Structure 1
Amino acid sequence: MIKRHFQTRINHRVVEHNGVLYFGGLTADDKSKDMKGQTEEICAKLDKLLADVGSSKEHILTAMIYISDFDAKEGMNEAWLNWIPAEALPTRATIGVAELGKDCYIEIVISAAKP
């Protein structure tokens, strides 16, 4: 059975199937922040969404991180590593993109297990 959570105008934030939660891409609301600040904001959003669907960051399986400035990647890594415990690190890819929108430096897409 497929269960859809949190409908927006263009998608559902989370789709659940066979114990796996698939999250749509998340960006920061405050575009005045640098890459690290935007990453911290997205991680806080992920904490809330994960809790709302009965999971947590310790159950993240994989992450796709899209960034528009590889020179700022270390700030993203710092925020990411401060947020998720080392023993719970998921698989991850960081992909450079030309543009994510005005002053948007990062978008994160995850999949997580539902315990």
Structure 2
Amino acid sequence: MSDITRAHVGQRMSQIVTHNGTVYLAGQVGNPGDSVAEQTRTCIENMEKLLAEAGSDATRILQCTIWLADMADFAEMNAVWDAWVPEGHAPARACGEAKLATPDYKVEFLVTAAQG
């Protein structure tokens, strides 16, 4: 049986959970009130830091689920995402519309990656 490792553990969630060489990140959001592009950049910066801490990086992302508060922001979010995703390493991805934790959040990213 493999160990489960948790980092940045709070009462409600851990920011990083690793198990069997797989990294699971908690949902990443930007700064409330920022534009969707700026929130997307902040999410990406947060994901990069957490993945590095867990021994992974953007080229090892297996799956990404993106929640937008409004699908009208799809193109704006994708412009930032597309400029960031390493060529040839696009993960499996889904994007949908959802009511987020606060109306000031416009986007949330949920990532699963491989370590190594």
| Superposed displacement of residue 24, structure 1 | 1.0
| Superposed displacement of residue 9, structure 1 | 3.0
Q: Distance in 1 between matches of 2:8 and 2:18?
A: 11
| Superposed displacement of residue 57, structure 1 | 0.6
| Superposed displacement of residue 102, structure 1 | 2.4
Sequence identity (%): 28
| Superposed displacement of residue 21, structure 1 | 0.5
Q: Distance in 2 between matches of 1:36 and 1:43?
A: 11
Letter of the 1:67 counterpart: L
Q: Distance in 1 between matches of 2:25 and 2:98?
A: 19
Structure 1 residue runs of 5 or longer lacking an equivalent are none
- 1:92 aligned counterpart, secondary structure: strand
Paired residues of 1:39 and 1:76 also in contact (CA < 8 A): yes
Q: State the TM-score, normalized to the length of structure 1.
A: 0.93
Partner of 2:32: 31
| Superposed displacement of residue 71, structure 1 | 0.8
Partner of 2:73: 72
Paired residues of 2:71 and 2:96 also in contact (CA < 8 A): no
After superposition, the C-alpha distances for 1:52-98 in whole angstroms (9 at most, x for unaligned) are 11110110000010111111110110111111113111000001113
Count of matched residue pairs:
114
Give runs of ≥4 in structure 1 deviating > 6 Å: none
| Superposed displacement of residue 99, structure 1 | 3.9
Partner of 1:110: 111
Structure 2 residue runs of 5 or longer lacking an equivalent are none
- 1:62 aligned counterpart, secondary structure: strand
- 1:88 aligned counterpart, secondary structure: coil
Partner of 1:61: 62
Paired residues of 1:64 and 1:110 also in contact (CA < 8 A): yes
The root-mean-square deviation of aligned C-alpha atoms, in Å, is 1.1
After superposition, the C-alpha distances for 1:15-39 in whole angstroms (9 at most, x for unaligned) are 11100001111111x2231111100
Q: State the TM-score, normalized to the length of structure 2.
A: 0.92
